[in-house]
Amino acid sequence: MAGPDYAELLQTHAAVLFFLGDRVYKLKKPVDLGFLDFRTRADRFRVCNREVQLNRRLAPDVYLGVADILGPDQEPCDHLVVMRRMPAARRLSALVRQAEPISAELRVLARTLAVFHAAAPRGPAVSVEGSRSALLDRWDATFGQLRRFHGGVLDAAAAEEVERRTHQFLAGRDALFAERMAQNRIVDGHGDLIADDIFLLDDGPRVLDCLEFDDRLRHLDVIDDIAFLAMDLEHLGASDLAERFLADYLEFSGDPAPATLLHHYSAYRAFVRAKVGCLRHEQGDPAAAADVAAYTGLTLRHLRAGAVRLILVGGPPATGKSTLAGQLADRLGATVVSSDRVRKELAGVDPGAGSAGTYGTGIYTGKWTERTYAEMLWRARQLLERGESVVLDATWTRAEHRRCAQRLADCTHSELAQLRCAADPATISARLARRTSAELSDADARIAAAMTRAADDWPQAQVIGTDSAGSLEAAVAAVTAAPEPARTE
């Protein structure tokens, strides 16, 4: 077995690495790959120094400097990045594959990256790369580069769904990306956080090999930066570690990013890796086909999970809609907007107070009901545009109110799911009898009967029986199977 100081040579698309004793020497290849150009010695010298400068931000004791290679005349003919050699056994990807218990070390890594991002450079030139249009341009460039692989190594239907879902998400999220920029969440980050380049040492993590050849590729949303590593952990089969790592990072950073944005950036990073797999396959690596399929599947999983949804949960009083709405929101990471609460807030009434009028009177007149639904939809719009899925808890007895919700889903490019709760009469009677004055709803048996008689038909809704086991799972299945809105160019 080779010792810790054995010699090794590795090649990447842009460099040759020499492992000698406790040192690593990286030689840039004199290549032009389109996205980088190292053909002149001056360019290689510049990028070597840039690599050392940038990577010392996260690994100051690893990047030792730049050494000259001297020619026969003792003049520099090329340059090497000189690094301290890291122990291969502590490489994050190796630890994950060996199922080592590293939750504590990953938590330290999450805190390290949160601190790094907090201190990272910001500014207008950086922020613009985190705009919606900049992200759309990067996605569209990838789609264009991959079209020639459709029907070959890249499944055409899957690729088309990726493109359709990507455009759907981005089309309705101007407010989300503008808010991220306004909050200074776009930084000069790392840009290439993968498990192969991270080492978990006893005295803390060392994060290597940031993108040094194009500053714009490091100018990115902190969630984009962190999602790359989470996606890589997931690809290595450690979804639980990925979720915990993300949760730890959000805790340390205090970032309020919606779950949909985490999913979207994870999908973006996975599809970039699928592109790399396509290129490797084209260059003669048949094993890359498995990577293309795996990364494309990962992309779709995140795009589907990260869809922005408007969910109507309705039905007569005491059919369990508020309970189901809350459970559904917890499961999907959505926000609940309740008509009972909104109605009383508009009237300046304590939401926990008793009736402020009976059905058709007081705050339950038609005029108050119109105000309530309009306010609910307005609040939902603010959330949907910022990437938050919304559950609207109301009776939804009027077809016109449901049509307004459909128009809202269309204009925010959100998926609409419509659920109507139902229960047998005995269950409804028992629930109404158990109600207390502290509950939001003021409906009693008489009001429930009147509302049921006045309700318009709701053929678009999926009926969910709330008096039987499995109602939540049935609701989740109905929501996730909801059709996508038509794409608007």
Q: What is the CATH number of the domain that holds 376?
A: 3.40.50.300
Helix (H) or strand (E) holding 90: none
251 and 279 assigned to the same domain = yes
Where residue 466 falls among pLDDT bands split at 50, 70, 90? confident
How confident is the model over 76-99, as a mean pLDDT? 95
How confident is the model over 8-17, as a mean pLDDT? 86
Question: Is residue 83 a contact partner of residue 63, using CB atoms and an 8 Å limit?
Answer: yes
Lowest mean pLDDT among 10-19, 92-101, 198-207, 411-420: 10-19
Where residue 448 falls among pLDDT bands split at 50, 70, 90? low
315 and 202 assigned to the same domain = no
pLDDT tens digits for 309-319? 999 999 888 78
Asked, for residue 1, whether it belongs to a domain, the answer is no
Contacts of 321 (CB under 8 A, 6+ apart): 313, 314, 315, 393, 395, 421, 466
Where residue 307 falls among pLDDT bands split at 50, 70, 90? very high
279 and 246 assigned to the same domain = yes
Average pLDDT, the chain: 90
Position 446 scores a pLDDT of 62
Asked, for residue 486, whether it belongs to a domain, the answer is no
Phi-psi region of 469 (alpha: psi -120 to 50; beta: other; left: phi over 0): beta
pTM here is 0.88
pLDDT higher than threshold 90 for residue 432: no
- Which amino acid belongs to residue 230? A
295 and 365 assigned to the same domain = no
Question: Is residue 221 a contact partner of residue 180, using CB atoms and an 8 Å limit?
Answer: yes
247 and 316 assigned to the same domain = no
Of 29, 53, 84, the residue at which a domain comes to its end is 84
Q: How do beta strands 198-201 and 309-314 pair? A: unpaired
Asked, for residue 411, whether it belongs to a domain, the answer is yes
Helix (H) or strand (E) holding 173: none
106 and 125 assigned to the same domain = yes
Is 350 or 464 the better-scoring residue by pLDDT? Answer: 464
How confident is the model over 151-160, as a mean pLDDT? 97
Position 106 scores a pLDDT of 97
pLDDT higher than threshold 60 for residue 252: yes
How far is the C-alpha of 253 from the C-alpha of 328, rounded, in Å?
Answer: 27
Asked, for residue 446, whether it belongs to a domain, the answer is yes
pLDDT higher than threshold 50 for residue 79: yes
Where residue 436 falls among pLDDT bands split at 50, 70, 90? low
Number of domains in the chain: 3
How confident is the model over 322-347, as a mean pLDDT? 93
Position 362 scores a pLDDT of 61
Identify any residues that bridge with 419 across adjacent strands, giving them in sequence order.
313, 462
Lowest mean pLDDT among 11-20, 22-31, 438-447: 438-447
pLDDT higher than threshold 70 for residue 411: yes
pLDDT higher than threshold 70 for residue 2: no
Position 444 scores a pLDDT of 54
Asked, for residue 45, whether it belongs to a domain, the answer is yes
43 and 127 assigned to the same domain = no
Rg (CA), the chain: 28
Position 365 scores a pLDDT of 81
Contacts of 453 (CB under 8 A, 6+ apart): none
165 and 287 assigned to the same domain = yes
294 and 315 assigned to the same domain = no
Show the domain range for 407.
309-480
Contacts of 326 (CB under 8 A, 6+ apart): 336, 393
Position 487 scores a pLDDT of 52
How confident is the model over 184-203, as a mean pLDDT? 96
Position 319 scores a pLDDT of 84
Position 200 scores a pLDDT of 98
Of 261, 284, 305, the residue at which a domain comes to its end is 305
pLDDT higher than threshold 50 for residue 356: no
Position 431 scores a pLDDT of 66
How confident is the model over 89-108, as a mean pLDDT? 97
335 and 364 assigned to the same domain = yes
Secondary structure (DSSP) of 189-232: --S---GGGEEEETTEEEE-----S-GGGGEEEHHHHHHHHHHH
pLDDT higher than threshold 50 for residue 151: yes
What CATH number is attached to the domain comprising 62?
Answer: 3.30.200
Asked, for residue 214, whether it belongs to a domain, the answer is yes
How confident is the model over 73-100, as a mean pLDDT? 95
b/e string for 246-263 if b means 16 or more Cβ within 10 A? Answer: bebbbebbebebbbbbbb
pLDDT higher than threshold 50 for residue 488: no
Angle between helices 174-182 and 366-385 (to 10 degrees): 60
How confident is the model over 121-138, as a mean pLDDT? 95
Where residue 256 falls among pLDDT bands split at 50, 70, 90? very high
Where residue 14 falls among pLDDT bands split at 50, 70, 90? confident
Asked, for residue 362, whether it belongs to a domain, the answer is yes
Is 429 or 441 the better-scoring residue by pLDDT? Answer: 429
Question: Is residue 66 a contact partner of residue 81, using CB atoms and an 8 Å limit?
Answer: yes
Asked, for residue 336, whether it belongs to a domain, the answer is yes
108 and 167 assigned to the same domain = yes
Is 217 or 225 the better-scoring residue by pLDDT? Answer: 225
Of 84, 105, 135, the residue at which a domain comes to its end is 84
48 and 177 assigned to the same domain = no
Question: Is residue 15 a contact partner of residue 29, using CB atoms and an 8 Å limit?
Answer: yes
What CATH number is attached to the domain comprising 181?
Answer: 3.90.1200.10
Burial class (CB in 10 A: 0-12, 13-18, 19+), 23: middle
